[in-house]
Structure 1
């Protein structure tokens, strides 16, 4: 039986995450920051931010995802598909990568519509799922 390497330590998964993030920033100019993180709070890859901020955001986003999942479970409404944090000058959307223990957290400036931002986050999370799934096959 082979031991599965955690996403934040797997060079292939890290390369996939960087590839998706590079394409993500090309599609949406209002993107200010994005990170893929593991469910247990480790950064897989990020664009923008410094090393310290990337670690902090990954840790906090992981906790928020767990809280969102707990609220959804307690209310018996299913899993938390995504979380939106709205602020004066922009917002953060975070979404679980389907079928994987990873989350994408992305910060957009206020110039972007929530609909477009949600759409590109969904596309990036789906692209990551496809790349990781195909790696495993």
Structure 2
């Protein structure tokens, strides 16, 4: 079953995302999506963007993976999109076909945002694995 249709995976994603904003106050939007662009769960200021963000983030992840493969530099760890008023960090959920895409405002340091995103992605993997056993 695809993760975006699996009630267990959706519940895990919602649980992980619910605590994300508490870890980093500058978070504006976070989505866990499948590699093929379907939203699993999301936490956002503007709910109208959710489906579009998942689709675009999936394409960005595929492009990043392709560049890393073509350059023979190993697997993509994360992608950062920097803009004037903030940035987006995308990170694969370890050992899964899902990606975390998170938008932070410019007040946050990239290091802290990256660290928190890594923690959330790892927690997602752990939660799925522990509850599936």
TM-score if structure 2 supplies the norm length? 0.96
Structure 1 residue runs of 4 or more that deviate by more than 2 Å after TM superposition = none
Aligned mates of 1:135, 1:96 — CA distance in 2: 20
Question: Which whole-Å deviations, capped at 9, do the CAs of 1:62-91 have from their partners, x for residues lacking one?
Answer: 010000000000000111110000000000
Task: Name the count of aligned residue pairs.
Answer: 132
Aligned mates of 1:44, 1:109 — CA distance in 2: 23
* Structure 2: tracts of 5 or more residues without a match: none
1:18 equivalent in alignment to 2:36: no
Measure how far apart 1:132 and its partner are.
Answer: 1.2
Measure how far apart 1:53 and its partner are.
Answer: 1.2
The within-5 A match list for 1:1-137 is 5-48=1-44, 49-50=46-47, 52-137=48-133
Question: Which whole-Å deviations, capped at 9, do the CAs of 1:7-55 have from their partners, x for residues lacking one?
Answer: 11111111110111111111100000000000000000001131x4111
Output the aligned Cα RMSD: 0.8
